[in-house]
A and B are shown apart, each in its own frame.
Chain A
Amino acid sequence: MRIHCPYCGPRSHAEFTYGGDARRERPADSNPDTTWWSDHVFLRDNPRGEHQEYWQHTHGCRVWLRVTRDTATHEIGAVAIAADSSDARDNEDRQ
C-alpha cells in the first residue's frame, strides 16, 4: 500500500502509523459528559468501503494526515494534512 504524503510524495505504508477513525468527533477536553467521551474513545465503526482515517508519517515528516481509504480495496483517495482539515476546526468551534 502507498500513501501520497503532501510533504514527502508517494511513500510505502510501512513509513506510516495508523491513527484510527478520522470522522470521530473528539469532545472538548472540558466536556464532562462521560458517555460522549466513552463513545469517542471506545466505539468504532468498521465500515466496508470508503473510510476517513488518521495516519501519521512516523518515519518521515511526522505529519498527521487525514486519509480517505477504501477498506475493501485499499484504494487511497484524498490525503489532507490533518491540522489543515476544516472538519477538525469545525468540531473544535462547535464544542
Chain B
Amino acid sequence: MSHGPYRLAQGGSGIDRDAPITFRYNGRRHTGYAGDTLASALLGNGERLIARSFKYHRPRGIYTIGSEEPGGLLTVGEGARQEPNRKAPTVTLHEGLSARSQNCWPSPRWDLMAVNGYLSALFVAGFYYKTFMRPASWWEPVYERFIRRAAGLGRLSTAPDPDSYLQADACCDVLVIGAGAAGLGAAQTAAASGARVMVVEERDWLGGQLSLAPGTVDDEPANRWIERQADALEAADNVQVLRSCVAFGLYDHGVVGLVETLAPESVDGQARARYWRLAAEQIIFATGALEQPLAFAGNDLPGVMLAHAVCGYAYRFGVAAGHQVVVVGSDDAGIGNALHLHQLGVSVAAVVDARHAGESALHESITAAGIPLHAGCLPVRAHGHAKVKALRIAPRQSEASLSDQTHSIRCDAVAVAGGWQPALHLQCHLGGRPAYDPDRDIFLPPALPPGHHHAGACGGFAGVEAAVESGRAAGSAAAVACGKSSMDSQTAVAPAADATPWGPASAWRVIAAPKGGKRFIDLQHDVTIEDIELAYREGYRSVEHLKRYTTLGMGTDQGKIANMLGLHALGMTAGVSPGEAGTTTFRPSYVPIPLGAIAGSHRGADFRPSRIAPAQRCHVEAGGRMITAGAWHRAEAYPHADETIADAVTREAGHVRRRVGIVDVSTLGKIALIGPDAAEVVNRLYVNGMKTLPPGKARYGVMLREDGLVLDDGTVARLAETRYLLTTTTAHAASVLVHIEYLLETAWPELQATVASVSDHWATFAIAGPNSREVLAALFPDEDVSNEAIPFLAVREVTYAGQPMLIMRNSYSGERAYEVYVPADYGEAMWRRALEVGKPHGLAPYGTEAMGVLRIEKGHVAGPELDGRVTTDDIGLGRMTARRKPCVGNTLRDRPGLQDPDRPRLVGLTAIDPNAPLESGALLAEPGVEGVDGLLGHVTSVCYSPACEGKIGLGLLRHGDDRHGEVIEARDPLAGVVIPIRVGPSVFVDPDGSRLHD
C-alpha cells in the first residue's frame, strides 16, 4: 500500500494505518487512513493547491488544522449531497468521499479567472461600489450577474436534501465547551462532584491543542493523559461526551445551540446530524486559542501554513506538510515547532526568528539539531506560482526596519507562528465586547452573567499546566454554583497570569512590504494590508466600517485568524493599539451549520403539524379532495369521477338547497366556559346582547378587540345556567382562547369563571337542507326533533349509544340545519351512520367550497370580510350591536375614524355577465373614473351561485347602503379585466329567513 508521497514512514497518533480509506478528489482516486481528515489526506497525497480565492482567484491551499480554515474550502459530496465551502480540516475522511475544488475552471491549477489577479490593481477595497455605479439600470441585468459568476464560492445542490436530521432539547448542570486540556480538567472536576456534565468537542477526537504536538501533562505523555480522562468521563454515569459537536451559539440563561454530526450521510435511517437546544445551569468555556498568521508578501501561497498546524499534521496524522519546511516565528512556542518536526521526521530547512541570536535558549538546540537558524530576520516574501518554492528573508536593522540584504531559502512549506489569540466568539454572543490586555497583546473574554466560566487559553491561561489547573478551578466553581459539593474545591485554584505577550509586536506581524508584493490578511476574501490602508485613507476608520468596506472577516470563516492581524494593520495605520481599534460584533453561528439540522423534520408535508379531524378517513374514502386550511386538512369537495371541482361544488351547494347535505365542521374552535360568573363573562366578551340568552338556547355573537374592530364571530350556546359552549371560526380558534384567558386572568380576576379549549373533544357535523329534520330523526330515533321541541337556535344535550352529544339548531347555509356535536372518538362512526340513515332522504356530503357558496348566497361574513379592519357597522351588524353595554371594545368603537360615514359597507354583488371572471380581491370602482380617484372598495368573496345562476360576491363598498341597484365596475388589474357588476343587498337567498324557522 502506497503511503502517498508526504505520509511519514511512521507516527500519526490519530490514524490507523491498517485501515486504508479510498476517496476521490477532483475525480482522482486517493488513499488515506481511518482517523484522517480530508485535509490531512490531501496533504498526505501531496495535494497543495486545492482551491482558488474569492476575488483574485489566487491559488489556495490548506492553512490550518481546524474550523478557522480560510482557504482550504472544497465542495464535498455528489448530486443532492453536493455541499460547497466545506473546510477540509473539519471533514472526517470516509470511504467513498468525493471532494472537488471550487471557484476555478477548468481546474485549480489552470484557472481562467486567475486573470483577475493580474488586474488586482483595479480590484481594491470598495471596487464594486466605485465601479458598478453607472448606469444604474445596468446593476441587475449586467453587473450583478457578472459579479455573481466571477466571484462567489461553491455551488449548492438545488435538489432536495436526501438526509434526515434529529433535534433534541436537553439540560445539564455543567456544560463544558471544548475538550482540550482545560476542558478535560474542568469536566473531570465537575463530574467528580456528581453534577450532570456534558462535554462538547468540535473535532471528532478529544485533546484539543494537546493532541497536536508531543507533550506531557502531570508527568504523563499527553496522549495517554487524554485517553485516561476520556475513559473516565465515558465511564461516568453523570457525564455525556459529544464529539463532532460544535457549540455554535450562546443565548440567554445558559441556552447553547449545538450541532452534532452523526454520520457523513443518512444511510439506513441514520440521521446525519442532531441539533441540540441545551439549557445548562453552568457553562465552562474551554474554547482554546487561535494561532495567528503573519503578513508578508506571498503569505497566501499554498504551502504557507500556521506552525501548530504543520506540527499537528505531522504528529497526529503522520503527514509532512513539505519536504523542506521553514519555521518562522518570534517566540519559543513558535520556533519550538521546528524541534517537534525534526523529531517527527519532517525535514526542517531553516528556522527564521525575529529575535537576535542567543535571545532564546532554543537557538542552541536548533543549531544542535543541524537546523540552519536565521536569527534577527523577518520573512518578506514567499516565492512560487501555484505553491511556495522559496522564502525570502531580510535581517532587521532596528526594531522594524529591514536591510536590503535579503536572502532566499529554498522550501516547499512555511510554518508561520504569529502568536495566539483566545477564541472568544461564543463568549461574545450575548453582546459583550472583548477586553484588550495591552501587556499580553490579546483580547480577553467580556464580563458575562453569573454561571459562565472560562478555562484554559480562552480565559488567558497560557500553557498546558495552567490550562489544566484553570480547568479544574472552573469545574469546581461550576459544581459548587449548582449546589454540588466538590472534593477539589479547596485545591483547585486558577493560576495567576504572567504578563508575557502572546504574539509579536505589530511591526513583526505586519512586515514591511517589498515592491509589488501582496500581503494578505483575509485569505478567503482576498483582503490585503493595502486594502486596509486604502480604506483608512478614504475615511473608513471605525472597525465596523472598515470591515464592511473591505469585507475583512466576512467570509465563511468569519475572519477567525484574520481579524487580529487586521486590527494590528489598522492600528499601525491609525497609530493606535489594537485595543483602541476595537473588535467587530460576534454573532452566531461560530461555524456554518447545516440548515437541514435547524429545520429537522419540519419540512415538506411535515413543515408544520397537521390537524386531522376525527372523520378524516371517511372524507378520503368518499373521494374528497383534501386541502389545507391553516393546519387542518379538509375536503373542499367530493367530485364524482367525471366532474370538475367547480361542477362538484355547484352540485353540492344545489343539493343542500333542494334536499340535504352534511359537512364536517369539526375544525371550528370550541371553548367551554363555566363558572358562577360565566354569564357576566359572556356579556362582556360579545358586543351584542347576551344577558337575555336562556339555558337551552344559542345566539350568534360578535367579539371585538380592545381597539373596537371585529375580532371574530361564532355561536354562544348556553347549555346550563353557569355553563356555555362558545364556537369560533377555524382560523381564530387559538387567538380567541388566548384573548379570553388574558381577560379572565389580568382584567377580570374578580369574575369566577374559567375556560378550556374543547375543539379537539368534539367532532361537529352540520346537516343542512329541507330534509335535515328527517335525517336528524333517523340519527336520533329516541329524540323528539319536531320544530316545537328543537326550534331555531335551540340547543339540546342528548345521549346516544351511551355517549353525551349536542344538537344545536343553527344555520350557516340559510337552510333548515342542525349542528351535531359528537365525542371525537365517535366522530367517524357517527359520520358513517349519518350517511347510512340519511340515504333515503338524499343525504350527501359537501365540502368547504360548497359551504362557502351557501354562506355567500346567504350573505354571512367569514374570514375574507373579517380581515381585522372592519367594524360591526361595516359588515351590516350595526343594528344588532346598537344597544350599548360595557364590553370589550365598546369604547374604542366610538373613535371618529370608525364612525366615519364614508367607510365601506358590506354589499352583495352580481356580475352582469353570469360567467364573468370575477375574483375576490378585485377593486370596486366608479365607472368612467380612472385610477385611484375612482376606487370605492374591494370584492371580498366570490362564487358561482347555483341559486342565482351566475357569479355573485360580497364586497366592502363606500356608501354601499345607498348604492343598491347601481351598476359599478370590478377592476382586476392583475388579470387585466373590468367587470360590470350590480350592487345589492348582501343576502341573495331567502332574505326574510323563513327557511330557518320552519
Contacts and interface: CB of A to CB of B under 8 A. Distances in A.
Nearest to A93: B750
Interface in B244-302: 251-255, 277, 279
Interface string A55-90: 010100011100000000111100001111000110
Contacts of A2: 252-255, 279
Contacts of A76: 253
B252 A29 contact: no
A-B pairs with lowest CB-CB distance, top 7: A30-B886, A64-B745, A29-B886, A74-B252, A83-B749, A83-B745, A2-B253
A1 B279 CA distance: 9
B894 A34 contact: yes
B891 interface: yes
Nearest to B450: A75
Contacts of B748: 92
Interface string B878-910: 000000001110111011000000000000000
Given A58-B738, A63-B745, A82-B746, 12 more contacts: A1-B253, A1-B255, A2-B252, A19-B742, A27-B891, A34-B894, A37-B706, A38-B895, A41-B707, A64-B745, A74-B252, A76-B253
B684 A92 contact: no
- Most chain A CB within 10 A, of B741, B746, B747, B750, is at B746
B546 to A, nearest CB: 28
A42 to B, nearest CB: 8
Interface in A8-25: 10, 12, 17, 19, 22
A52 to B, nearest CB: 12
A83 B746 contact: yes
A74 B895 CA distance: 37
B973 interface: no
B169 interface: yes
Interface string B502-513: 000000000000
Nearest to B744: A83
A37 B705 CA distance: 12
A75 to B, nearest CB: 7
A29 B895 contact: no
Nearest to A87: B746
B604 interface: no
Contacts of A19: 742, 746
B677 to A, nearest CB: 13
B539 interface: no
12 contacts: A1-B251, A12-B255, A22-B746, A31-B891, A34-B892, A34-B894, A34-B895, A62-B741, A82-B745, A84-B749, A88-B746, A92-B747
A43 B747 CA distance: 18
Contacts of A22: 746
B449 interface: yes
B745 A12 contact: no
Interface string B580-599: 00000000000000000000
Interface of A is mostly: mixed
Interface residues of A, number: 38
B894 A64 contact: no
A33 interface: yes
- Most chain B CB within 10 A, of A42, A62, A73, is at A62
B657 to A, nearest CB: 42
Given A28-B886, A56-B738, A74-B253, A34 B891 contact: yes
A74 B887 CA distance: 36
A1 B251 CA distance: 7
Nearest to B757: A62
Interface string B693-724: 00000000000001100000000000000000
Nearest to A3: B253
Contacts of B741: 56, 62, 64
A12 B279 contact: yes
- Most chain B CB within 10 A, of A41, A54, A81, A84, is at A41
A26 B745 contact: no
Contacts of A47: none
A64 B888 contact: no
Given A12-B169, A34-B892, A92-B750, A56 B742 contact: yes
A88 B749 contact: yes
Given A56-B738, A83-B746, A32 B891 contact: yes
A22 B742 CA distance: 11
A27 B449 CA distance: 39
A82 B744 CA distance: 10
A89 B749 contact: yes
- Most chain B CB within 10 A, of A17, A29, A83, is at A29
B675 to A, nearest CB: 13
Nearest to A63: B745
A41 B706 contact: yes
Contacts of A30: 886
Contacts of A83: 744-746, 749
Nearest to B254: A2
A30 B889 CA distance: 10
Contact of A92 (B742, B749, B888, B890): B749
A48 B458 CA distance: 31
Nearest to A36: B891
A76 to B, nearest CB: 7
A61 to B, nearest CB: 11
Contacts of A40: 706
Contacts of A28: 886
A47 B176 CA distance: 35
B212 to A, nearest CB: 37
Given A74-B253, A82-B745, A37 B892 contact: yes
Given A2-B255, A30-B886, A89-B750, A64 B895 contact: no
A20 to B, nearest CB: 9
- Most chain A CB within 10 A, of B252, B747, B887, B891, is at B891
B882 to A, nearest CB: 16
Contacts of A75: 449
A12 B280 CA distance: 12
A20 B98 CA distance: 53
Given A1-B252, A56-B738, A75-B449, A64 B746 contact: yes
A92 B744 CA distance: 12
A40 B707 CA distance: 10
A17 B739 CA distance: 12
A74 B749 CA distance: 28
Contacts of B169: 12
Contacts of B707: 41-42
B255 to A, nearest CB: 7
Contacts of A12: 169, 255, 277, 279
Nearest to A76: B253
A40 B742 CA distance: 15
A19 B707 CA distance: 16
Contacts of A1: 251-253, 255
Given A26-B747, A92-B750, A41 B253 contact: no
A62 B744 CA distance: 12
Contacts of A38: 892, 895
B687 to A, nearest CB: 11
Interface string B719-760: 000000000000000000010011011111110000000000
A53 to B, nearest CB: 11
Contacts of B279: 2, 10, 12
B887 A29 contact: yes
Nearest to A91: B747
A27 B747 CA distance: 9
Nearest to B746: A82
A92 B894 CA distance: 23
Given A2-B279, A12-B279, A74-B252, A37 B747 contact: no
Nearest to A24: B746
Contacts of B749: 82-84, 88-89, 92
A37 B891 contact: yes
Nearest to A14: B277
Nearest to B706: A41
Interface string B332-356: 0000000000000000000000000
A37 B888 CA distance: 11
